[in-house]
Each structure stands twice: as structure tokens, then as C-alpha cells.
Amino acid sequence: MLEIKDLHVSVDGKEIIRGLNLEIRRGEMHSIMGPNGSGKSTLAQVLAGRDSYEVTGGEMIFDGKDLLDLYPEERACEGIFLAFQYPVEIPGVANTYLLREALNSVRKYRGEKPLKHVEFGKLAKEKMKVLNIGDDLLKRAVNEGFSGGEKKRNEIFQMQILEPKLAVLDETDSGLDIDALKIVAEGVNHLRSPKRSFLVITHYQRLLNYIVPDFVHVLVDGRIVKSGGKELALELEDKGYGWVEDGTEAAVNN
Amino acid sequence: MSITLTTNENGYLDGFDKFREIAPGKDIDWLMSLRESAIARFSELGFPTVHNEDWRFTNVTPIARTTFQMPENVSGKVKPDVLSQFTFPGIDCSRLVFIDGLFSSELSSIRQLPNGVKALSLSQALTKDQELLSERLGKYVDFDEDAFSALNSAFFQDGGFIFVPKGTQFEDPVHLLYVTTNSKSSPAITNPRNLIVVEDNCEANIIEHYVCLTDGGAYLSNVVTELILGQNSTVGHYLIENESKDAYNISTLRVQQERSSNMRSHSVLIGGALVRNNVHPVLAGEGCDSLINGLFMSSGRQHMDNYMKVEHASPHCDSRQFYNGILDGRSRGVFHGRIIVHEDAQKTDAKQTNRNLLLSDTAQIDTKPQLEIYADDVKCTHGATIGQIDENALFYIRSRGISEEASKDIILNAFTNETLESMNIEAVKRYSESLAADWFARRQHAHNG
């Protein structure tokens, strides 16, 4: 479904991602872990199409399409969804309005009819239950004055509505207490299916107790230095990132 | 008789000599002496230059250089059906229509008004309600330092006169519609003059609306409105300026507020080549509230200048200025927010916010707060922002599957709604929203085409 080959990304002339390879097949749950500054969030933003990040080499193929040829909105319509680490506040735009516009834009891209107000309302109601979201959150301006937990829940709620093929979760666990974390995880698990893939980016292993990955990758200095199964996350938690970082140093020195 | 006004030689003085023979109310002494002193003052002042601090950012040379024709009788020139585009669906309001500044009774429609309420043209009122007029007209606007108000006071031919007697409440606004039918060969000058007197314990709403039926050619609408609010009265005032692209619109709203009155002023500026919007409320009685709210949207080479002068003259008054500007192309905007707190006006709470979005590298905004505080126990705050469309917000919306242009529209709509949402009359709000939407559509069209 997604194939990233030898990806190089620079920000303001500084190379952040330095030859990253990753393949995600349909239905798989991947997790990328890594220390601060390793390039995790850069990868998430680049997948979504942020143009302030310059891809200087390599390729990203999603369902046979070269992502570099697609605008952010086209990537979303193709089925990529990014749950932001820092969801943006947009004063004056109602949450429900944005989401209906988004869904109908995606439907139009797929050649489907737009949903009417009532139909959208029904769909939203259904999804809200899973995430324990109240009506007021829908009516309020997008993310404006939301608590940290509300913002993250809102991201997952948007994901539920847009039903992407590939969901990228960028540190969705940061700033969440354990109850909020469980709700968010439940929302994600609810969407797991053989047709849908996930890339969960996180600093801590904690989230992976609730969202259990098939594969764990460790990102250090813009490269994946180690990959394994879910047990790799526990090992990292136990030994710290120093363990793999030392490993790379050793490898280079040898 | 055709009257030409020009700054060449003694054009305005000569014009006035002709005009006085035919001026509405030419036999009314107090009115003629008002006109005489106004033309005298105007000829002393001349048009302002950018050396005048109040006009630092706005150059009116194009107006000073134009030779204008005063309009003549125009009955039958405009068919009623072309005016339907200037109505507010959903409300059935009384409408006074002025074609090239002159009242048209056949195009106007006055609904059943509450007892004692008057809504008529100023020229009619000069015969019917002279006493009311003599007490109020020209008593508030000060043309000593303002050439355009002086010009209006000397040359006004007509306008709206609205009188709301004590204890009257009616929500449907009175709509003053000014339609210019300009011809390119002879630029017209109109001097609409409105007098709105709302007595104690009333509620009323007024819309001033400036439009043009032709697409090009310079003309000047030089408006003065005096609005008086009695004690405990609430008045909504809406100015919708949608002149044609070559037009000049200079408008002065002078508001007098008595004790515990509540004034809500909304300006929506869209059209015109050179626009100056003066709003000057005087909070004369204790416990007044004043909302001075506006939205201006400019593109091309438009110039839009908003000059606010909020005068706190009594204690315990609150004023809120809230202006949003969107500027595209090579347009230029000005927000000059002056707050004057007089010595007696303790416990004043005055707030001013001006936010601007620049959509191009060549658009420009000058925003200038000016606080003059002579009392010691007051709260005055001001804030101005100038920015572009927030890239983070834009990316966020696009990442949800919405095209770049549509995403920008969503952000711009939110920005315009910040000011429009405080309009209490839903129909006027919707109308203003549609003007903004048309503006966005034109912009998109220009960018795509």
C-alpha cells in the first residue's frame, strides 16, 4: 500500500530524513518510535504533503501513485489521513462544517454524491458515541479552546468520518492522561480492518499497550535503525533509546 | 440649470451662487445661513492634503481635480425592477430611494409605520417638519475642520429624514438606498444628507446603502448622516457601500448618544476607488454603549480609509471598535482609531481591535491607534494585527481533502464572519455575507482566469 524508498527530506537546508525505507502493506499496523528530533514528525508531515519540507531524494508510492505528484488535498482524497500532533485552531469555522465540507470533497473526488445535512448528522452522531464526544464539540470552532484531550479526540473523530486507507497518527498520545488515551485508542482500534493500514508515531511505548502494532521501527537521525515486532517497543521502554543509538554508533565505527 | 463644481478658479463658490437660487429650502433663513457658513468654511479649508494628520494616508487629489456636475431631475431614469437586487430578502422594510441623490417617490415604498414615526425625504421634511429640522439639522456634525462635511452642508439636495417618537419600538429597518446612474462623460457629485432622530426609550434600525447602476466612470458620493439617540434607546445603523469601481465615497456618520443609549454601527465597504468612512460617535450621556463595527474588502487599486473618532464625554460608557480588513491586489487600507476620553468621563471602558489580512504582497494597510485620555480612571485597550492567511490552518484544512482555494475561502469567510456575526438583523447579515461571497468568487475567478 505504501512504499517509501530511500527518502531524503530537508527543512531550511538541513537534512532531517536521511535515506528512510519503509513498506506498509494493507491491514498492517506499524509504529515508528524514536527520540526527539529523529525526524518522526517530519515524516508524518511529508506524507501529508506539507510543502515547507523539501523532499530531496527518494520516493513515496501509495497505491501505485507517486505522492510527490499530489497536493495535500489529493492525498487526503486518495485515502491518507494525518492526525496532527498539534491540531490547528481555526476560529470562526465550525467543527461540523469543516468536517462535512471535507467529507463531501473526498466523496466528490471518488465520484460519490455529497451527503445532505441530515445524512451527515446521522453519521456524525454514530461516530461520536465511540469517542464519547458531545454535541457542543461539533458546534464549536475547529479546535478553538479545546483541551489537549479534546483536540486529540477530535482528530480521531475526523478520521472516523473520513475513513482513510492509511492513517498516520503523529504523537496522538502526547499530552493525554490515561483515560483520554484509552478513549483515543478505542477509536483507533474501532477502525482497524484488513483494508486499512496505520502508521503510529510515538515517543513512548505506553500507547502501544492499547494499540498493538504488528511492526515497530526505531527512527534515529532520520533513518530506521531497527525493526521488529511489538516486543521491540517493550525492549526500548526497558533499555531506552540509548541502546539503539549506541548500536548505530558501533555499526558506523566498525 | 446645470451646475458645475470644480476647484479651478472659484468653481465651488460660483457653483454655490447658482445653487442657492434652486437649493431645497432656499427661503428658509436658518438653513441658508448654515449653507452660507459651510461654503465659506469650505473655501477657506479647501480639500485636505496628506499634510493634514487626519488625511495622512489618503490622498484626495483625484477628487479635487475632478470637475463634477450636480445632478438634475432624473425621474423615470430608473425602472423599479433593477432595484430588486438591492433588497434584503426576508424583511419587508420601508425604503426611500434616491436616484443620483434626488428622492424618487415612485421608486420608494413606505410601509405602515408605528404611530408618529416619520420616514420621508429631507426635501419633503423641509416643508412638513421644519421645526424638528431646525432644532437638529447641522447641530452635531462639525464642518469647521472637515472640508467634506462643509461641502455637504453647503450643497446637500436631499437625503433621508427619520423621526422616531418616544417609546416606539420597531425592528424592521428603514432602508435608505442611494443609486447613482453615472455617465462617464460627466462625473456626478451627490451630497446625501441624512438626519435620524430617535427619541427616548426607542428601538430602531437604519440601513444606508450606496450603489451604482453603471460599471465605470468617476463620481462622488459625499455623505453626512447625523444620528441622535435619546435616553435608553437602541439603534442599529448599517452602512453598506458597494459603489462602482471608479467611484469616490466619502461618508461621515456623526452619532449623538444620550444617557444609557445603545448604538450599534456596522459598516461594510466593498466598492469604490477611493473610500473614506468616518464614524464619530459622541457618548454624551452616562452609561452609553457604542459598538463600532466594520468590514472592508479591497482589491485592485482600491483605497479604503476608516477613520474612527470615538468620543467619551460622560462617565460609565463602554465603546467597542471592531474592524476587520481583507486586502488584495495593489489595494491600500487605512484604519485610524481615535479614542478621546474627556476629563469627566471616568470609568470609561474603551476597546479597539483592528485585524487585517493581506492576500497579496502588494496590498498595504496603515493602522493607527490614537488615544487621548484626559480622565484618570479609565480602561482603554487597543490592538491591531496584520497578517496573511495562516499557513498552518491552510495546510490543516487541505489535509482533510479540501482544495487550496476552497480552504482559503473557509478561512476568509471565518474572518469576515467575525465582524458580520454581531449584526442583529439576520437579513442584512445574510446580504452582507453574500456580498463577501461574491467578492471571494471574483477573486478566485481573477486568480484562475
- CB atoms A90 and B404 under 8 Å: no
Q: What is the ipTM of this complex?
A: 0.95
CB atoms near residue B449 (< 10 Å):
5
Three cell numbers, residue B9: 478658479
Q: What is the pLDDT of residue A252?
A: 38
Per the CB < 8 Å rule, is A49 touching B398?
yes
Q: Min CA distance, B436 vs chain A (Å)? A: 15
> What does the pLDDT read at residue A136?
87
Burial B377-390 (b: 16+ CB within 10 A, else e): ebebebebebeeee
Q: Which residues of A touch B (CB under 8 A)?
A: 48-50, 52, 71-73, 75-77, 81-82, 84, 87-93, 98-99, 101-103, 105-106, 109, 141, 158, 162
- What's the predicted TM-score (pTM) here? 0.88
Inspect the interface and report whether the beta carbons of B404 and A73 lie closer than 8 Å.
yes
Closest Cβ–Cβ partner in A73, A106, A162 for B398: A73
**Which parts of chain B sit beneath pLDDT 50?**
none
Q: Checking DSSP bridges between strand A90-94 and strand A141-142, what pairing results, if any?
A: antiparallel
Check residue B439 and report its DSSP letter: H
Quote the pLDDT of residue A251. Answer: 40
What one-character-per-residue DSSP string does chain A give?
A: -EEEEEEEEEETTEEEEEEEEEEE-TT-EEEEE--TTSSHHHHHHHHHT-TTSEEEEEEEEETTEEGGGS-HHHHHHHTEEEE-SSPPPEEEEEHHHHHHHHHHHHHHHTTPPPPPHHHHHHHHHHHHHHHT--HHHHHSEETTT--HHHHHHHHHHHHHHH--SEEEEESTTTT--HHHHHHHHHHHHHH--TT-EEEEEESSSGGGGTS--SEEEEEETTEEEEEE-THHHHHHHHH-HHHHHHHHHHHHH-
d(CA A57, CA A97): 38
Comparing CA positions, the residue from A92, A9, A99 lying closest to residue A47 is A9
Print pLDDT tens along chain A (254 aa): 999 999 999 999 899 999 999 999 999 999 999 988 899 999 999 999 999 999 999 999 999 999 999 999 999 999 999 999 999 999 889 999 999 999 999 999 999 999 999 999 999 998 888 787 888 888 899 999 998 889 999 999 999 999 999 999 999 988 888 888 998 899 999 999 999 999 999 988 888 999 999 999 999 999 999 999 998 988 888 888 877 775 554 443 33
Q: Number of H helices and number of E strands within chain B?
A: 9, 22
Residue A195 near residue A220, CB atoms below 8 Å: no
> Cβ–Cβ of A90/B396 closer than 8 Å?
yes
pLDDT tens profile B21-56: 999 999 999 999 999 999 999 999 999 999 999 999
Interface with chain A: mutation pick from B355, B399, B410, highest number of A CBs within 10 Å: B399
Tell me what pLDDT residue A241 has.
Answer: 82
CA of A193 vs chain B CAs: smallest distance (Å): 21
